[in-house]
Structure 1
Amino acid sequence: MARQAEAVKDTAGTANGAHGRLNPSGPVPLYHQIFLIIRNKIYGGELTPGDLVPSEQDLTFEFGISRITAKRALNELADAGLVIRERGRGTRVIQRPPVPAVTSSIEGWLENISLMGLSTEAEVLDFHYVPAGEDIAAALEIDPGTEVQKAVRVRRLDGQPMSYLVTFVPQDIGSKYDRDDLNTKPLLHLLERAGVDVASARQTISATICDSEVAGVLESPAGAPLIEVRRVVRDRNDRPVEYIRVLYRPDLYHFEMSMRRITDEGDPHWTTTGSAPVTDRPDD
Structure 2
Amino acid sequence: MARTGDRAHSLNVSTLDSLDFTLDRSSPVPLYHQLAQQLEAAIGRGALAPGNLLGNEIDLSVRLGLSRPTVRQAIQSLVDKGLLVRRRGVGTQVVHSQVRRPLELSSLYDDLESAGQRPTTRVLRNERVPASADVAAALGVAQGEEVTVLERLRCTHGRPVALLCNYLPAALFELDDSRLESSGLYRMMRSAGITLHSARQTVGARGATAEEAACLEEKEGAALLTMRRTAYDDAGRPVEYGTHIYRASRYTFDFQLLVRP
What range describes the TM-score normalised by the shorter chain of this pair? Answer: 0.5 to 0.7
Counting only pairs closer than 5 Å after superposition, residues 59-208 of structure 1 correspond to structure 2 as 106=105, 109=106, 113-118=109-114, 119=117, 120-174=119-173, 176-208=174-206
In 2, Cα distance between the equivalents of 1:183 and 1:191? Answer: 14
Question: Which of 190, 208, 222 in structure 1 is aligned with 2:220?
Answer: 222
Instruction: Specify the structure having the higher radius of gyration (Cα).
Output: 2
Give how far 1:260 is off: 5.0
Q: Could you say which residue in structure 2 is the equivalent of 1:268?
A: none
For residues 35-50 of structure 1, what are the structure 2 equivalents within 5 Å? none
Deviation at residue 157 of structure 1 after TM alignment: 1.6
Query: By how many angstroms is 1:159 displaced?
Result: 1.3
Q: Which runs of 5+ in 1 are unaligned?
A: 1-103, 266-284
Q: Deviations over 1:104-128 (max 9, x none)?
A: 754xx36x75232352211111111
Contact 2:109 2:183 in 1 (8 A): no
Q: Which residue of 2 aligns with 1:237?
A: 235
Q: SS of the counterpart of 1:196?
A: coil
- After TM superposition, the runs of 4+ consecutive aligned structure 1 residues lying more than 6 A away are none
Alignment: residue pair count: 156
Which AA in structure 1 matches 2:128?
A: Y
Aligned counterparts of 2:130 and 2:259: Cα–Cα separation in 1: 47
TM-score by length of 1: 0.52
**Other structure's SS at 1:117 match:** helix
Give the corresponding residue for 2:20: none
Q: Distance in 2 between matches of 1:261 and 1:198?
A: 27
Instruction: Look up the match of 1:59.
Output: none
Q: Name whichever structure is richer in helix by fraction.
A: 1
Identical-residue share of aligned pairs (%): 31
Q: Larger relative CO (CA 8 A, sep 6+): 1 or 2?
A: 1
Conserved? CA contact 1:227–1:250, under 8 Å: yes
TM-score calculated relative to the size of structure 2? 0.56
Task: Check whether the contact 1:105–1:200 (CA below 8 A) recurs between aligned residues.
Answer: no
What's the C-alpha RMSD, in Å, of the aligned pairs? 1.8
Superposed CA offset, 1:135-155 (max 9, x none): 100110100111111111111
Q: Partner letter of residue 220 of structure 2?
A: A
Tell whether the 8 Å contact from 1:140 to 1:240 is kept in structure 2 after alignment: yes
Residues 260 and 147 of structure 1, relative CA distance in 2, 3 Å threshold = closer
Equivalent AA in structure 2 for residue 165 of structure 1? L
